[in-house]
Structure 1
Amino acid sequence: MTVTPNQTVVTEFILLGLSSDPETQLVLFVVFLPIYLLTLLTNILIIVTIVYDRRLHTPMYFFLSNLSFIDVCHSTVTVPKMLTDFLSVEKTISFWGCMIQIFFLHIFACTEVFLLTVMAYDRYVAICKPMHYLTIMSRRVCLVLAGGLWLGGVVHSLALAGMAIKLPYCGPREVDNFFCDVPPVIKLACADTYIINVFIVSISGVISVFSFLVLVSSYSFILVTLCNHFAEGRHKALSTCAAHLTVVTMFLGHCAFIYCRPSITFAVDKVVSLFFTAVTPLLNPIIYTLRNEDMKRALNKLMGRKVDPEKN
């Protein structure tokens, strides 16, 4: 995979984006700028609230604060560039800018998959083994799990970005997306990428299947436990688990849809990726946290409002 002397080395890529129509791009800018700002506001507010309120210093909220941090970073990797390109005639990105975007995109995406899996296990322990919850999910265990999922994300990202960087790029420069990702970028390489495509499908499949099995097992045990107990608190637990499972299914569904067939491109790919990078980071705090009564009370306290301790 060497570049011959008569080949031109690509120094920048052109992002085709979501649309080439100026009016459509302006509408998209007006729509997604507030979404991005709300994503930053809600997730940062959640992190500050959890740090501020000592009653939220529990394993569940520790992982939720990690999720909010990841969502801020995940959306920031792609959305600001997308918003800038909506107002630009030329949507270019340097070669190294593209590779850096791929690297951080996969760190946060893969880490979030692992985190959602750990959060499902945390809910399983809390509901099915409540008497041993604080022993099993001790501070040390939570820190080890957090370190492990971040390490897994870094290793996964290094592998994918490393392969993309080593490929020679000497021909077409147009990336058929609004951000750099491994599948559309390696299609531009002047080399056979069959082995890399097989690796992407394999590693994405393993991660998705493993996470799916852990999630299904955790929530299956949770449902069995809830069915065997009194109705008190059952509705709240079922509602929480259903919301969590919905988010996880959407997230894993995107990973399977995009990365388990990287050599094939569908017209809907951009829409799926847009939802994944711009909308999901805003939905996560709403589904996971802002519907939670403990979080609502903590937010009211943080904002200086009077909180009724008897309520809920």
Structure 2
Amino acid sequence: MLGRTAASLFWMSRYHERAQNVTRLLEVAYRGAIMSHNGQEHGTHLTFALTNSGLESDYRQKYEELNIRNVSMFMIFAKDNPLSVRNSLELARNNARAVRTSITAELWEAMNTTWIEFTEVNPQSVTQEKLPDFLAWINQRAHLFRGALLNTVLRNDGYFFSQMGNFVERADNTARILNTQYWSLLPDNDIIDDGSTERYQWSAILRALSGRRSYRFAYPHARLKAFNIAEFLILRQEMPRSLAHCFDWIADTAEDLAQYYGSREPSLDLAIEIHRELSGKQMRDIYQEGLHDFLTIFIGKNNQFAQQLSEDYNFA
């Protein structure tokens, strides 16, 4: 496979995953902003979304007022925001169009229809009352993309590169949210009262990573605890957005790619190494190392893997 084809498939999935991640953060912000929670200020929830998406500084430069309208327009539609849903969907679709003959009709239709319908929406029509339904639509289209990818694409090198892009982006998103909120996940916070700010932060983190209900299944007899939440989102492989789950997929896909090409590149061995390190960790070891330091190092290694992959396979 040509390097530019591999790159397009990798970034197609990565940008689509990014669009959904930003949407989920905005959903959490909207939910919190319209519900009174222990006297927290309206802006607390909106700041949560902007901070965790790395957009707070850019937002402050553009807007003076912090409100749902401005935040939603900036995170969804702003052309000058490189992480907006609009830009992510457009870049995902452009990468798919570049390799149109390398993907299935179902996958292309899922992406192309999403982009066409998105561009037909007048941003001014997405009022505060209509925002939840619009965010739900974006999420549904993201699930349709994943379903088409998993159910129609041949398990060949194109599929492998697509999966790499998806899980690199997902791992990055989970790690960055945890790192931004790491202070609320320190074990000392487990002695706090049920009505605390930290407890809201825990719930928001789980919702942003689609883990609120599955956490209850994983820890059926335990209340929300910082230790359990950190363990759930870092080390529990059955959680689809945990770091361990992402690199379990990446490591398996790396092995598949090595077998497909009959050679092992440095990026593939790096994926195995990161997966092995996560598999050998206990949450207490991570706390002893320092949660913030661990997450910062992980983000660097995840980026290193993506960069090495692009060098090994000549991404244009």
Same fold at TM > 0.5: no
Q: Which has the larger radius of gyration?
A: 1
